[in-house]
Structure 1
Amino acid sequence: MSQEKKETYFSQLDGVRFLAVALVLVDHWLTERNPFPLGHLGVTMFFVLSGFLITRILIQSKLKDDQFGRSHWFSVKQFIIRRSIRIFPIYFLSIFALYYFDVPPVRETLVWCLTYSTNLYIAINQHWMGTIDHLWSLAVEEQYYLVFPYLILFLPTRNYLKLLWIMIAISIGFRLYFYFQGSPWLIQYVLMPTALDCFGLGGLMAYYFTFKKEEVFEKIANGRFVILSFIVYAICVTLTQIQQKETHQIYNFGNLVAERFLAAVFCFFLIAKAVAGYSGYVKWFFENPVCQYLGRISYGIYLYHNFVYNYYHTPQTSIVLRGLHKIQRIAPYFTLNLGFELLYFLMLTVILASLSWYCVEKPINYLKKYFTY
């Protein structure tokens, strides 16, 4: 691996990707049997990680533009092309396949799917979208990419900190506004502006890593902060659930306003420590070959998992559930065995994501070498 590659690739982040997607899968497949907001935490982890990686790429691009005396529009073009190569192929292939097989509600919402605006559809109509409801988070990221690169590339670097803190404040402000307005929870959950604190915290991490590595970053990349921030987040979740039971109201200030920010703070410290490098058991977990591989194909795992199985929308006649029931008839021990069912869904999802990685994503990703910054 070249020196430049070593400086831009953080191996433990693949382990973080695996952790994030695992939280989402467990949450989506267990549904009401899981009382904890694991899926929310997993998506928040992805947002903070994207905030770090994208901001760091853009800052490095801006510095190179200044060094070589080239226009920042060069880096805008490279960023858009490279992101498109990484994200679009399997996304649009999935949409077209779902359209062909008439999987609802793809045909009725095709324009929303093709324009990465399913989150707006959910917010406007105030209901989920069945087997494609998880695409809202991909829409949020894409909408973020439409605006943020221009801010980093064309603003003076001295304004970066102000920008990132404003993003965090705007996000919390939007959630407070929706909360006090009594707006449906789906609106504040799926909109891009209400997730800006996640991206902003990731951006802060990238800023400190690039410009203040010794003064700030090495201090925040501390395992004690990871533990402390998780405790604070866990206390918030616990208090929220206690209030839910006492008031018989599902949504309150805790899960509508505070949880996402505290989850993002925890993810901020978790990822910062992974960038610096964990040791011991955590290092083994994040760097073992299985976690590394599953983290590498995590985009496919996330994209396909709801098509493999969705507790609310997968019909009993689906090929996935027919296969599961056949195994259970042959081996009755696995009937009503939740652990086996989760393993079965995971195995199918990983197989699908692996085929996607080797047949589509990896070959197309080679094109990115022609569009270096």
Structure 2
Amino acid sequence: MAKARDIQLDTLRAVAVMLVLYAHFLAPNGTSFLGHLGVRLFFVLSGFLITRLLLEARDAAAFEAGPALRSFYARRVIRIFPPYFAVLGLVWLTDLEEARSSLAWHALYLSNFWYALRNDWNPWLLCHFWSLSIEEQFYLAWPLIVLLAPRKRIEAISIGVICFSLAYRLYWPIATDPALARDLLPPASMDALACGALLAVRRARGADVPRWIRLCWPALAAFFLLVVWSDPGPADSTWEWPRWLLVQVLPLAPLTAIVAACSNGLGGRLGRLAELRPLLSLGRISYGVYLYHPILLAYAVKAQPWIPLNVSEQGPGRFLVAGTATLIVASLSWMFFEKPLNGLKRYFPYVARPVARTPGEARRFGGGAPVLDLTPTDRS
């Protein structure tokens, strides 16, 4: 496995989480499109990395679907659950924003359904869990497809998922009014996850992003920014629905192209920029940054009487105080909590050689060491 590509993907994680922090701490007038774009980038990355890992496991000579699935889920639990449930435990103890009543939904990774059914963002400090729930729902189903479906069908399945998600988006302007369910139910995000998965599938057969994406993604990105910065007009204007659809769909090709480029390893100045140590460090702790930042913001707002800067509103004060607290807590969490636990992944290799019983078997199989651990790329 080439490590340069994985290093640069850490930088993409840093970019994604910085977009989210900007949207929640600094963006004026509640502007959230950059935060939304950061989440979509996380989804493309997750779809790509998870699918690549599973396909590499499947290609190993000693592959068995059952052990690979068990290892996948065990590694996800080790990586994701400890800090996630630590946050839920803290919220339960303090009952901040009276969030205790909804904790069962969040504990079951159904946050997106909680907010969609209520059509309301309360409690706000856990609203970012909707995207973590989407990813967990993806992790439940997608490995079964990648490891058990006929190999030659996985690319077609990925394309089908993208088309289904786009059809779901088209359903809303035709059939119903805007609501949080439009953006929070699983089909609303499967296009981004499946775009990443499709990239991994194409890579596995020696292809790359289609030529039209390589040629057109800068123009699509520019058009996306133009649409975002356009005045949407009244809430019931004829421009509202097509604008929403364009904002949702246009980023797919640029984000996929960017992930493809960084996974290959950028060269020159861009490559050096993508491997700057601060960006790599931020990318490494990005899960903690994303997980903790609204919680720390909520505590900062409660402590406003003792803070000389204004943290109660979007602006530099909030960005400085809550952002600094987030980076400190996420760094400590990574060093003393998440990283040590991640070491347990070595007990769950995706593919392991059989234990040799005789000297002849030992020469044949090379001992009983794992053959495909994949730890360097399994940071998502």
The CA deviation at 1:338 is 3.7
Distance 1:139 1:281, change over 3 A: same
Contact 2:25 2:314 in 1 (8 A): no
TM-score normalised by the chain length of structure 2: 0.84
What residue in structure 2 maps to residue 324 of structure 1? Answer: 307
1:143 is aligned with what amino acid?
A: Q
- 1:155 and 1:245 map into 2 onto residues whose CA distance is 47
- 1:128 and 1:372 map into 2 onto residues whose CA distance is 39
- 1:189 and 1:250 map into 2 onto residues whose CA distance is 20
- 2:179 and 2:314 map into 1 onto residues whose CA distance is 33
- 2:10 and 2:4 map into 1 onto residues whose CA distance is 13
Q: Which moved more, 1:8-17 or 1:90-99?
A: 8-17
- 1:337 and 1:87 map into 2 onto residues whose CA distance is 29
The CA deviation at 1:342 is 1.5
Identity %: 30
Kindly tell me the number of residue pairs found equivalent between the two proteins: 349
Say yes or no: does 1:233 pair with 2:224.
yes
What residue in structure 1 maps to residue 180 of structure 2? Answer: 186
The CA deviation at 1:225 is 4.8
Distance 1:150 1:247, change over 3 A: closer
Structure with a larger share of its residues in helix: 1
Say yes or no: does 1:350 pair with 2:327.
yes
What residue in structure 1 maps to residue 355 of structure 2? Answer: none
Deviations 1:152-203 (A, max 9, x none): 1111111012101100011011111122122333111111111111011101
Listed as ranges, the matches of 1:1-373 within 5 Å are 4=1, 6=2, 10-33=6-29, 35=31, 37-64=33-60, 67-68=61-62, 70-129=63-122, 130-213=124-207, 216-217=208-209, 225-238=216-229, 241-242=230-231, 244-245=232-233, 249=237, 252-309=240-297, 316=301, 318-319=302-303, 321-325=304-308, 338-373=315-350
- 1:102 and 1:340 map into 2 onto residues whose CA distance is 25
Deviations 1:112-153 (A, max 9, x none): 011000100111110012111111000000011111110111
Q: Which moved more, 1:281-290 or 1:196-205?
A: 281-290
SS of match in other structure, 1:127? coil
Q: Which moved more, 1:131-140 or 1:102-111?
A: 102-111
Distance 1:255 1:363, change over 3 A: farther
The CA deviation at 1:40 is 0.8
The CA deviation at 1:286 is 1.9
The CA deviation at 1:280 is 3.7
- 2:341 and 2:213 map into 1 onto residues whose CA distance is 34
- 2:32 and 2:107 map into 1 onto residues whose CA distance is 32
Deviations 1:299-355 (A, max 9, x none): 000011101215xxx675x23x34532x68xxxxx9x99435422321111001011
Deviations 1:239-266 (A, max 9, x none): xx33x22666598223543322211221
Contact 2:4 2:265 in 1 (8 A): no
TM-score normalised by the chain length of structure 1: 0.86
The CA deviation at 1:270 is 1.1
The CA deviation at 1:28 is 1.2
Q: Which moved more, 1:40-49 or 1:173-182?
A: 173-182
**Structure 2 unaligned residues grouped into runs of 5+:** 351-380
What residue in structure 2 maps to residue 331 of structure 1? Answer: none
Distance 1:221 1:339, change over 3 A: same
1:353 is aligned with what amino acid?
A: A
Distance 1:275 1:226, change over 3 A: farther
Distance 1:364 1:12, change over 3 A: same
The CA deviation at 1:72 is 0.5
- 1:89 and 1:147 map into 2 onto residues whose CA distance is 22
Distance 1:54 1:8, change over 3 A: farther
- 2:12 and 2:213 map into 1 onto residues whose CA distance is 15
Contact 1:185 1:256 in 2 (8 A): no
Contact 1:236 1:259 in 2 (8 A): yes
